[in-house]
Chain A
Amino acid sequence: MRKYIYNREGYAFLTPWLLGFILFTAIPMILSFYFSFTQYDVLTPPKWVGLRNYIDMANDPRVHKSLQVTFTYVGLGVPLQIIFALFVAILLNRDRPGIRTYRAIYYLPSLFGGSVAVAILWRQVFNKEGLINQFLALLGIEGKNWIASPETALYTLIVLLIWQFGSPMVIFLSGLKQISKEYYEAAMIDGAGRIRMLFSITLPLLTPLIFFNLVMGIINAFQAFTPAYIISGGTGAPVDSTLFYTLYLYIKGFQHFSMGYASALAWVLLVIISIMTALMFLLSRFWVHYEE
């Protein structure tokens, strides 16, 4: 597919973003990079210390723990959330009465975002006397304190991520709307069944958005902060089992006044995420199909 080469037009349309990048993003990024080589307690000017923050990071057991926690969260949470979102989007992509209200209800959990209310609600569900355990009691099983035990606390956060699948779902819904009806009509004439149409038409045409949700899901999950913050009260409790990487970053920067160290943490995270994203872009040519 040819694209026309129009330098001037391209830059004209890009101007808002370019300006925004220079004014609002580039300078903070450069500054934070600079801070990562300093000892900066925020309230007094930074002091240059070279690579010390990066070296300290390599030896900091809490960094290792937070990486472990974060990778688990991303590796389990994102794929599961997207699968759910896809499943429900396809399910709700019907023109049936009241379907719009159902879609809104399924989107409801995402509306809660990171409010204080969610923390309370999650405790009500996952603590010793919570809903889950009440349900398990009916089956004769005695549940533990899921939300406050080191072995299981992180998984309650993963469930929270999956429960808030509304955003990928909506994106899939709008993608499903973009697929021309003619494809399905043609397939029906050829005698294809529903499952066949799903795998031959719907999924392939949705790959650009599956890819989008995957990439954004991973980028966002690596930077997840609010769930851990509100549920652990900003501590990563119990015993750092919910210490997301950015939560640790926040603790170091804002509570321990080590903004230099926090900046170093941030840039290492950036490198990790960009490597993963680049990999995903490279691999995308094998499975993502664009209509252009």
Chain B
Amino acid sequence: MGEQNRSIVIYYLFITLFALVMIYPLLWMTSASFKEDVEIFQSPSLIPQNPTFNNYAYGWRGVSGYTFGRFLFNSFLISFIGIIANILSCSMTAFAFAKLDFRFRNIFFAIMMITLMLPFHVRLIPQYIIFNKMGWVDTFLPLTVPRFFATDGFFIFLLVQFMRNIPNEIMDAARIDGASAWQIYARIMMPLSTPALVTVAIFTFIWTWNDFFSQMIYISSPSKFTVSLALRMFVDATGESSWGALFAMSCVSLLPLFIIFIVFQRFLVEGIMMGSLKG
């Protein structure tokens, strides 16, 4: 018994040490958020000399009369819509690529992979022109609607890999029972892919939340600013930057991400249905 306890202690020691390396920057940022602007760069210590909540108050005031709460809401909106869109559209597409056989399937898969390989800076201007003609600029539409059409190849590929790891016997059995493809998709594939879908949800949320460039291009009115746009406003080379406010609001913006991650992890739960199916 002593042996086991010792190995557990060593285990925790090891992962805690490592965790400190991971968390140091967050500690630095949090401590900076409580320092006055001038002190942030002058003193390297982690303890503020005159701790202050000013940065949080100032940062929360936001831009052009919209508080940071508004920006948080906007980011939440886009990210949640993104989650639903991706889960629906990418799983359907992945199901088609992974489990259904149809003409030109491999060609389409190759095309999908290739769409991942073109740097977005060169797609930017043509896309902007298209969205402009549709009157979608300065709305959330360019940031949300495309997702309903499976434009995130990364998640399609991910789900394909997961689905290919699900034995075909289950599908074959369902076919014999007369199930349609939609029923197989909805009743079998989706539940079995839960860990993968949870991963899609987490990543979609976090990457949308942090995505900066597309949001910057398509959003102009401060009322629609998202968190990542607002954060950029605090630091400006031509004027007085509000570093304290930047760090304070960065900490605030990290909180939802952190929470989402911890909450969704619950669903990355033990190898769900796999065991029961074998029997």
Contact = CB atoms under 8 A, between A and B. Distances in A.
Direct A–B touching in the complex (beta carbon < 8 Å)?
yes
Interface of A: 1-7, 9-14, 16-21, 23-25, 27-29, 31-32, 35, 42, 88, 91-92, 95-96, 100-118, 121, 124-125, 129, 131, 163, 167, 170-171, 173-175, 177-182, 205, 208-209, 211-212, 215-216, 219, 222-223, 225, 246, 249-250, 253-254, 259, 262-263, 266-267, 269-270, 273-274, 277, 290-292
A170 B199 contact: yes
Nearest to B235: A116
Contacts, number: 271
Interface SS of chain A = helix
A17 B150 contact: yes
Given A14-B108, A111-B254, 10 more contacts: A3-B100, A3-B168, A9-B181, A14-B92, A17-B150, A27-B126, A107-B261, A178-B162, A259-B125, A270-B118
B101 A4 contact: yes
B116 interface: yes
B157 interface: yes
A111 B100 contact: no
A9 B151 CA distance: 20
B123 A32 contact: yes
B265 interface: yes
Interface stretch (B19-27, B58-66, B71-79): B19-27
B258 A104 contact: yes
Contacts of B116: 216, 219
A109 B126 contact: no
Contact of B93 (A13, A104, A270, A277): A13
A88 B130 CA distance: 44
A25 B210 CA distance: 22
B25 A6 contact: no
Contacts of B258: 104, 108, 111
Contact of A117 (B18, B29, B115, B268): B29
B130 A181 contact: no
18 contacts: A5-B102, A6-B102, A7-B102, A13-B185, A14-B108, A17-B108, A25-B151, A28-B127, A107-B261, A116-B231, A116-B246, A174-B198, A174-B199, A177-B269, A178-B271, A208-B162, A223-B120, A262-B122
Interface in B149-175: 149-151, 154, 156-158, 161-162, 164-168, 171-172, 175
Contacts of B175: 4
B115 A104 contact: no
B187 interface: no
A4 B11 CA distance: 48
A27 B146 CA distance: 14
B10 interface: no
A21 B105 CA distance: 15
A266 B117 CA distance: 9
Contacts of B28: 121, 124
Contacts of B261: 104, 107, 111
A292 B130 CA distance: 42
A177 B118 contact: no
Interface in B251-266: 254, 257-258, 261-262, 265-266
A18 B93 CA distance: 9
A20 B151 contact: yes
B177 to A, nearest CB: 13
A113 B157 CA distance: 22
A117 B250 CA distance: 8
A250 B119 CA distance: 10
A283 to B, nearest CB: 15
A31 B126 CA distance: 7
Contact of B151 (A24, A42, A225, A249): A24
Contacts of A175: 162, 195
